[in-house]
Amino acid sequence: MAPKLPRMLLKFKVLVLLFALALSSVNAQNTTPKKRIGNETPQQKEKRMAWWTHDRFGMFIHWGLYALPARHEWVKHNEKMNNEQYQKYFDTFNPDLFDPKTWAKSAKAAGMKYAVLTTKHHEGFCLFDSKYTDYKATNTGAKRDLVKEFVEAFRAEGIKVGFYYSLLDWHHPDYTIDEIHPQSPASGADSAYDRLNKGRDMNKYRAYLRNQVRELLTNYGKIDILWLDFSFPGKHGKGRDDWGSVELLKMIRQLQPGIIVDNRLDLDDYADGADFATPEQVKPSELKSDYGGMPFETCQTFSGSWGYYRDENTWKTIHELLMLLITSVSKSGNLILNVGPTARGVFDYRAQRALTAIGDWMQYNNKAIYGCKQAPEGYEAPIGTLLTYNQETKRLYLHLTNYPFLDQYPHGMVTLHGYKDKFKYAQLLNDDSEIKWQAVEGTDDVVLTLPALKPNIEIPVVELILK
């Protein structure tokens, strides 16, 4: 009786293998090449995106009228407010402390190399002086084009400039009511949608959105990134046809040939319908190294909300924020970290504190971030560590995320499996102090001896100079 089970298992394995083979050949037959919008070659694309792939770390800024209620940028939706009820925020908006130069300095000190500002969020309010609407900053207490000042201030600090633009618009009279609009019908019945949408014309809204994107990409000089947000196709949703995504992207590429565009236009079946994937608010452990061949940028908040949220108190620790940054780079991706300035136009003290702490770490460890990517095959990260790699300088960075490894390495030792003969020198990155190591006899392993006392660095990094 005994041998029966293994034999059955074997049969099962063979069956699974055959099934997998059959499936993969079906898949192979089905992979017709994706459609294309332009004719850029992979080499040209790599070149266009080179600075972004190198820089790895950016700042997102969500700022709009929702900073006044200070309870989430979706407050209009969450509380089902209509335009009249929301009007008080427009009437009150007066960011008397707005000084984007201080924002830019904070971003730079934190090591951020690019910044993306919400020129318009779902609420429809424009921070820029658009000629297609009156619902804009110039008509509030701000009395000026806030986007223009943002662009100038960040450029002056050498930070690349990006625009977020919401495809959704919960203010525009022609934007049809869909399932996530603040005025979506509770019944969900088609007839209710029809009734609410009488007189609304998406063709007009589509032209409006196109005109505004043209303004943004024409009036502010070179724009490095465009972050369009977002698509939710479906019966009472919106997608590429509603936005006119294909034509929109063509126009964008024509106006700003160097620009980098996110993947929220609902153009997944185009080979060049997007430049990067945007995993949002995922845990480090959920980040993948492959998003269908597209590079990724994970977007994350300090707390739960993008817009300023006064009473939200679940702020990430500095350790958690650094884990997000390092994990992203260890999987060849970027991190864009969000700040939601207050309605008066300043970074909340908690955001400022976090940025300063990140800057403290970056000051001494940024070589393990800029220009780095996933470690090559054959380099295993011991438990409690993450690896990043700079191909140009041939340096491997071992991020000690769990210092001093008391549970795994009682004597401050870290074993690197299979690293024998792979590197010639090891040092702590923050102070270039030597880390001694020895090979483990009879194996390919190497043991590093770490300082018994944790260096005064949130996540210390060992730099291995490869052979």
Does position 299 bind ligand GLC by CB under 6 A? yes
Q: How far is the CB of 312 from ligand GLC (least distance, A)?
A: 14
Which of 243, 170, 230, 240 is closest to 203 using CA atoms?
243
Q: How far is the CB of 231 from ligand GLC (least distance, A)?
A: 10
State which residue, 92 or 281, has the beta carbon closest to ligand GLC.
281
Does position 115 bind ligand GLC by CB under 6 A? no
How many whole angstroms separate alpha carbon 414 and alpha carbon 411? 9
Does position 220 bind ligand GLC by CB under 6 A? no
Q: How far is the CB of 299 from ligand GLC (least distance, A)?
A: 4
State which residue, 74 or 409, has the beta carbon closest to ligand GLC.
74
Does position 230 bind ligand GLC by CB under 6 A? yes
State which residue, 72 or 367, has the beta carbon closest to ligand GLC.
72
Quick one: CA dihedral 73, 75, 78, 82, positive or negative?
negative
Does position 123 bind ligand GLC by CB under 6 A? no
State which residue, 284 or 404, has the beta carbon closest to ligand GLC.
284
Q: How far is the CB of 279 from ligand GLC (least distance, A)?
A: 10
CB distance 230 to 168 below 8 Å: yes
377: amino acid identity, one letter: E
- Adjacent-strand bridge partners of 397: 388, 463
State which residue, 51 or 230, has the beta carbon closest to ligand GLC.
230
Out of 46, 79, 91, 280, point to the residue binding ligand GLC (CB under 6 A): 280
Burial of 60 (0-12, 13-18, 19+ CB in 10 A): buried
Q: How far is the CB of 316 from ligand GLC (least distance, A)?
A: 16
Quick one: CA dihedral 134, 138, 142, 148, positive or negative?
positive
Does position 201 bind ligand GLC by CB under 6 A? no
Does position 178 bind ligand GLC by CB under 6 A? no
Q: How far is the CB of 319 from ligand GLC (least distance, A)?
A: 23
CB distance 447 to 416 below 8 Å: yes
91: amino acid identity, one letter: D
Cα–Cα–Cα angle for 22, 27, 28, rounded to 5 degrees: 100
Q: How far is the CB of 118 from ligand GLC (least distance, A)?
A: 7
Quick one: CA dihedral 126, 127, 131, 134, positive or negative?
positive
b (16+ CB within 10 A) / e for 121-156 = bbbbbbbbbbebbebbbeebebeebbbbbbbebbbe
Q: How far is the CB of 284 from ligand GLC (least distance, A)?
A: 17
Q: How far is the CB of 300 from ligand GLC (least distance, A)?
A: 9
Does position 91 bind ligand GLC by CB under 6 A? no
**What token pair was written down for 212?**
């505004």
Q: How far is the CB of 453 from ligand GLC (least distance, A)?
A: 40
State which residue, 280 or 380, has the beta carbon closest to ligand GLC.
280
Query: CB under 8 Å, gap of 24 or more: what pairs does 48-54 form?
Result: 48/258, 48/260, 49/260, 49/275, 49/276, 49/295, 51/160, 51/224, 52/114, 52/224, 52/225, 52/260, 52/276, 52/295, 52/334, 53/295, 53/334, 53/373, 54/370, 54/371
Does position 232 bind ligand GLC by CB under 6 A? no
State which residue, 79 or 280, has the beta carbon closest to ligand GLC.
280
Residue 5: strand, helix, or coil: helix
Does position 364 bind ligand GLC by CB under 6 A? no
Does position 215 bind ligand GLC by CB under 6 A? no
Q: Which helix (H) or strand (E) holds 37?
A: none
Which of 420, 418, 371 is closest to 395 using CA atoms?
371
How many residues touch ligand GLC under the rule CB under 6 A: the total is 8
What residues numbered 30-89 form the site for ligand GLC, per CB under 6 A? 62, 73-74
Does position 297 bind ligand GLC by CB under 6 A? no
State which residue, 150 or 361, has the beta carbon closest to ligand GLC.
150
State which residue, 229 or 312, has the beta carbon closest to ligand GLC.
229
Does position 266 bind ligand GLC by CB under 6 A? no
Which of 227, 226, 307 is closest to 62 using CA atoms?
307
Does position 229 bind ligand GLC by CB under 6 A? yes
Out of 306, 309, 361, 423, point to the residue binding ligand GLC (CB under 6 A): 306
State which residue, 263 or 327, has the beta carbon closest to ligand GLC.
263
Give Cβ neighbours of residue 290 (< 8 Å, ≥ 6 apart).
none
Site of interaction with ligand GLC (CB under 6 A): 62, 73-74, 229-230, 280, 299, 306
